[in-house]
Amino acid sequence: MPTMRSRRAVAIAALALAVFCARPASAEAPALQSTVEAFLDQVGGAVMQVMRSDESSASADLAAARVLLDELRTASVDPAVRQALGPAATRRLVPLVRKMDGAIRRAQVTVDNPRIRERRKLQALRKVYGRGMKALGVLGSPVLAEVNARSAGFHKPGQQVTFRMLGPDGGPCDETPTVTVENQFASSAVDLSTVVGNPDGTVTMTMGAGAGGARVTVTACGQTSSRLLFNYGPRTSGGGRVIPANLPEGLYALSFSARGYVSIPETSLGTLDNTDAQAFASALRDVVRQAAAAYDVPGCSGSTRYSRFDGESFSITFHVTCSNVAITVSETMIFRVRKL
């Protein structure tokens, strides 16, 4: 039975061999590579905006990506470019570009639909990003490549990630790389304390606790390259009620109001610090449970709903109805959670 270390070594060797063999000699490849990399940056931006619940910005990023894809499609069918790339690369690139076009159109419709959940939007964007990475591989060996290419850069909290730096000739770069990882939009996508550049030219890190994206920039063997990583973030749920999983770390103000049988104007309840997603979610659920406990009597039934985080705030709504033989009353309590 192979050990984890031996399987990792085999994976790194297989990746290096695959990308080395795929390296084209065509002078057309660098220009097309730049277009695909710009396309991936725009799609990656859309991923991070969806995680921030900013669908309008995500839609704009996808629109920009489609412009770049149009440029790539035009180039891929140009006779001069096809001749320069050679028949093997052309046969792989042209259908890939068609699939990228179909995938990004479907993703645009998905992202623009407010009734579709974030998870499905991210799944649609991951397909687009993955096909873009395949197109990049057809055009040549990437300078910086993730060992587990099937992930397409999308990971869960706590997962280990390894990158391999390649030299100018496309072979492995056996030099300790300089690495910089920048979490985007104040996220905790990567645990920065775990980032290590290794003497064999690999870079390792562990995904952090929060949803979001990070840019990994590596320099070694006279080359610099960067890639995006994405963290789905934790699933925080309780009894089927889901707290938004895309909350940035920091201080939040909590307020309370009520309407129905009793009306209460919005009143401050203080602040909560979000440094750990699970602990933050638990603290919020405790606040709601304490309020709901007063209605935990025969004849009363309640439900809790969490709204989406819009980049500034979200709300927790607890609705309760109490009935007896003579009368039925209802109360709606709203807890607003606002990022400071």
Q: Identify whether the C-beta of residue 306 lies closer than 8 Å to the C-beta of residue 296.
A: no
Domain span holding position 168:
141-233
Residue 304: the pLDDT is 80
Residue 246: the pLDDT is 67
CATH of the domain at 127: 1.20.120
User: Following DSSP, what letter does each residue of 255-266 receive, concatenated?
Assistant: EEEEEESS-EEE
309 DSSP 8-state letter: P
| Residue type, position 147, single letter | V
Residue 306: the pLDDT is 81
Instruction: Report residue 67: phi and psi, to 5°.
Output: -60, -45
Q: Identify whether the C-beta of residue 96 lies closer than 8 Å to the C-beta of residue 84.
A: no
Residue 1: the pLDDT is 35
Spell out, as residue ranges, where the chain has pLDDT lower than 50: 1-27, 236-241
User: Following DSSP, what letter does each residue of 224-259 receive, concatenated?
Assistant: EEEEEEEE-----EETTEE--S-PPSEEEEEEEEEE
Residue 63: the pLDDT is 95
Are both 161 and 104 inside the same structural domain?
no
Are both 174 and 147 inside the same structural domain?
yes
Secondary structure tally for the chain: helices H, strands E: 7, 15
* CA 276 to each of CA 155, 157, 269: distance values in angstroms, whole numbers, following the listed order: 18, 12, 20
Q: Identify whether the C-beta of residue 83 lies closer than 8 Å to the C-beta of residue 125.
A: no
Domain's final residue, options 233, 262, 292: 233
Are both 87 and 174 inside the same structural domain?
no
Domain's final residue, options 140, 158, 184: 140
**b/e string for 226-260 if b means 16 or more Cβ within 10 A?**
bbbbbbbbbebeeeeeebbbbbbbeebebbbebee
Domain contains 194: yes
Domain contains 228: yes
Domain contains 9: no
Q: Are strands 250-260 and 264-274 parallel, antiparallel or unpaired?
A: antiparallel
Tens digits of residue pLDDT in 28-46: 566 888 899 999 999 999 9
Residue 12: the pLDDT is 32
Residue 25: the pLDDT is 38
CATH of the domain at 172: 2.60.40.10
Are both 209 and 243 inside the same structural domain?
no
Are both 262 and 320 inside the same structural domain?
yes
Distance CA 177, CA 305 (A): 48
Q: Identify whether the C-beta of residue 68 lies closer than 8 Å to the C-beta of residue 39.
A: yes
Residue 141: the pLDDT is 66
Distance CA 156, CA 213 (A): 11
